[in-house]
Structure 1
Amino acid sequence: MVTLETVYSFYLPGLAPVTYCEEAQVNCPSSIAVYVNRLNSIETVIPYEYHSFDFCTDVDETQSPVENLGQVVFGERIRPSKYSLTFNKNETCKTACQKVYKEENKDDVNKLNFLKKGISLNYQHHWIIDNMPLTWCYQVEGAQVYCSPGFPVGCYVTSEQRRKDACVINSLFTEKDTYYLFNHVDLLITYHPGSLEDWGSKLKGIYGRIVSAKVVPRSIKHPTKSADTACAASAPVLGLKGSTLKGELRFNYTYSVYWTVS
């Protein structure tokens, strides 16, 4: 059984579906933008804009889609991101950005502490691809699968070694007083080919329309030097200790993209 939480999304009824091509053509782009929305938490009423947590944000925000009145009223703040896709092109361990935090830099320490606070309060990302929310699905009790239109920034293991929130779904999250950051995402995109559809009759090559967009958030401690196994399932996890930052902390935000045909 699959359970789907009420959708917190950018979807606007009535918008025409977009057809994408491997090679861009007239009215058939190959590039697909990933948008980010404000983060929220069921543990607090205060939402935060995406840049508040010092994620990868050095892009031109003038490219933000225009929000309608309803979206503004409900507090949506949709922004472009450093993540992007090319239709039907798989990507492995692509770097969105690198972050460096230094003990002697007070601003760095404050940013890192705020990120940890967001993890402890279980703040949720809300990403949008092709006008639909990225959905996070995971197994719960009774072999059921629960799907949510948001996914967590990370999860926390308390000083009593109690695994909170998403930490319960991964046996590697065990260190006391540790914040596990989900700094990598696997994007699983499914598309419907248009070879037998009227809307694809004038197009060439491989093309289709996106019908599903799912995300699998992961915590990865990437090696200092790039390696083919940097984002492998066996990669070590990235744990941020609850104690004060000592020295320098450096890590990457990365993503992989996998396409399948419906």
Structure 2
Amino acid sequence: MEISRSLAISSWIAMAIVLSIAPAGCFYLPGVAPADFQKKDPLMVKVNKLTSIKTQLPYSYYSLPYCKPTTIIDSAENLGEVLRGDRIENSPYVFEMREPEMCHIVCKITLNEKEVKDLKEKIEDEYRVNMILDNLPLVVPIKRLDQESSTFYQHGFYVGAKDQYSESKDAKYFINNHLSFLVKYHKDVEMDLARIVGFEVKPFSVKHDYEGEWMEGRTRLTTCDPHAKQTVLSSDSPQEVEDKKDIIFTYDIEFQESDVKWASRWDTYLLMNDDQIHWFSIVNSVMIVLFLSGMVAMIMLRTLYRDISKYNQLETQEEAQEETGWKLVHGDVFRPPANSDLLCVYVGTGVQFFGMLLVTMVFAVLGFLSPSNRGGLMTAMLLLWVFMGIFAGYSSSRLYKMFKGSEWKKITLRTAFVFPATVFVIFFVLNALIWRQKSSGAVPFTTMFALVLLWFCISVPLVFVGSYIGFKKPALEDPVKTNKIPRQIPEQAWYMNPIFSILIGGILPFGAVFIELFFILTSIWLNQFYYIFGFLFLVFIILIVTCAEITIVLCYFQLCSEDYLWWWRSYMTSGSSALYLFLYATFYFFTKLEITKPVSGILYFGYMFIASYAFFVLTGTIGFYACFWFTRLIYSSVKID
């Protein structure tokens, strides 16, 4: 009762914090209404970070010489947004609802040498500008060449373009200084209210000219007609990025009524991937599971049943001495392994990961962590990881006590620090590299301090609470007695070599998830939304079943060959799928990404190493517990004299 009460309280606290720290409007729940706009209501466009898939280093919008409002105000951000490098600020792009404007002048800027250099670098690296209106990201509609009626949406517009026909040394760079916005709205039939359901833009590079002297707010451009019903740009040349040259920033705003309702406005942004591929992934994974399930069923129902019946019918001492197979090692199969303390630590950490991912995916499937809740997914995962520390402490101490351990505080400290400390050191080094590049993706010191506080003030105490509760419980009793003298393991066939069987064991769990892994990597590194949490949850369940079944099958073969050292091998068998994950990430880097800077490559492989390490801990723990349950089941089913 104490455990269940503690876990229930922890789960409710975690959910309460997730709901409380998210910005208003992220969740569409009862009591949180969408924004209604009347005619003449002001619409304020917010600017977000500059992003590039070539460098993976985000920068603040105002790191480039763009028009600034009188006062720059940072929007309140949750923990996940800060870790993702989001920097949401106000902008001078303000217009009235359903009041179209043409050729509105924002400002004029004269570039200096440093600003020219910065702009050219950002254009060279294909940086995009991200903006937000009513929590909707700005997109650029692009027609597909292969399908006339189909349109896909690019997140953000490019800072500018480079003249591809000029020499590389004398290449010309052009900036997109004219933005043609399109705001789609859904009108309330009964009331004169509207809700924004779309935010699109078409960027242009225009070298503006004007009559007479420049007068703020009263200058008339000759290259753009403010009274035209549609955008009319008469400039013959684009705006080049040059030192001591003026750039005039302008925009158009057009409003278009849409049949899309507010509740469905994200569908346009999210329905950009082919669901057939995901169904293929699911079918592929299910086939693997059915194959493994057939093998496990054959072992459990035929071979094991026959073995147990035969062993239980042995009557004479001579017959007992002729035992072969897995029963022969019953006196050694539950002997504590080498480095048993470390195994307890990793099993506890894996349980913590499993609990975090399971609850996160349930929240995501229920719609609490949709992409509209910017940063919500990462925030929820961090907080749930912290509160799942109670599971880590409980499971590691229970296993530790079964191994006849007595120093429960020592094992608790290692459980609380081994994995998080390793990840924190790698993350700190990578963050220092980002900070050196002056990127907005660098986590501020205050946020880093908050993460350390979460770790030391919540996670570590909860690990101790769980460990104390687990250690107070009576130790699990082995189904059979362990001999004092270890039995010699006979020479094994080549295919039962530990390295070979471990590497073979990781292929099928990875094969069950690698198609979905492609979409996850694409969403992370190519700045696309990942929203198909229903598919992901199914793949997660399939991964659990696959890891459990392949470990049971290989564990049975190992015991039949009279090798009783199954503890670590069961962990490594399914955990080796992390090696294939890292190899696939390397393949993805060289085939799908266009990263050229060494710092960006270090960041990619650093973060993918952390992801692979976490995947190893998760899958290894699943395989270990499956094999643990299997061995206890079979050895408790036979008579041992």
Separation in 2, partners of 1:127, 1:11: 17
**2:33 pairs with one of 8, 12, 16:** 16
Larger strand percent: 1
Q: Which of 59, 75, 85 in structure 2 is aligned with 1:48?
A: 59
- 2:143 aligned with 1:139: yes
Question: What does 1:160-199 correspond to in 2, within 5 Å?
Answer: 160=166, 177-196=171-190
Q: Which residue number in structure 2 is paired with residue 250 of structure 1?
A: 246
1:115-134 to 2 correspondences below 5 Å: 115-134=119-138
User: Could you tell me which residue of structure 2 aligns to residue 169 of structure 1?
Assistant: none
Question: What is the letter of the counterpart of residue 136 of structure 1?
Answer: V
Report the alpha carbon displacement of residue 159 of structure 1 after superposing the two structures with TM.
Answer: 5.3
How do 1:69-84 and structure 2 match up within 5 A?
A: 69-84=79-94
Deviation at 1:135, TM superposition (A): 1.1
Q: Which of 151, 155, 158 is matched with 2:161 structurally? A: 155
Code of the residue aligned with 1:145 in structure 2: it is T
Q: 1:112 aligns with which of 89, 109, 116?
A: 116
Q: For residues 172-251 of structure 1, what are the structure 2 equivalents within 5 Å?
A: 177-196=171-190, 200=191, 206-225=192-211, 226-227=220-221, 229-230=223-224, 232-240=232-240, 245=243, 248-251=244-247
Distance 1:120 1:11 in 2: 36
Q: Return the alpha-carbon distance in structure 2 between the equivalents of residues 51 and 125 of structure 1.
A: 11
- Scaled by the length of structure 2, the TM-score of the pair is 0.32
Could you tell me the percent identity over the aligned residues?
Answer: 27
- Report the AA paired with residue 26 of structure 2: L
Q: Give the drift of 1:207.
A: 2.4
Would you say the 8 A contact 1:59–1:80 is kept in 2?
no
Structure 1 residue ranges (4+ consecutive) displaced by more than 6 angstroms after TM superposition: none
d(CA) in 1 for partners of 2:233, 2:246: 21
Deviation at 1:161, TM superposition (A): 6.7
Residue aligned with 2:206, SS = coil
2:174 & 2:204 partners in 1: Cα distance?
A: 9
Structure 1 segments unaligned to the other structure (5+ residues) = 1-9, 24-29, 102-107, 163-175, 201-205
1:184 partner letter: H
Q: Which has the higher contact order (CA 8 A, sep 6+)?
A: 1
Coordinate RMSD, CA, aligned: 2.3
Amino acid at match of 1:141: L
Offset at residue 95 of structure 1 (A): 1.1
Alignment check: 8 A CA contact 2:206 2:233 kept: no
How far 1:58 sits from its partner (Å)?
Answer: 3.7
C-alpha distance after superposition, 1:94-151 (max 9, x if no partner): 11111113xxxxxx11111111111111100110001101111122422443311211
Stretches of structure 2 lacking an aligned partner (at least 5 in a row):
1-23, 212-219, 226-231, 259-641
State how many pairs are aligned: 215
- State TM-score, norm by structure 1: 0.75
Deviations 1:29-67 (A, max 9, x none): x011100001011111221101111111243223x3211
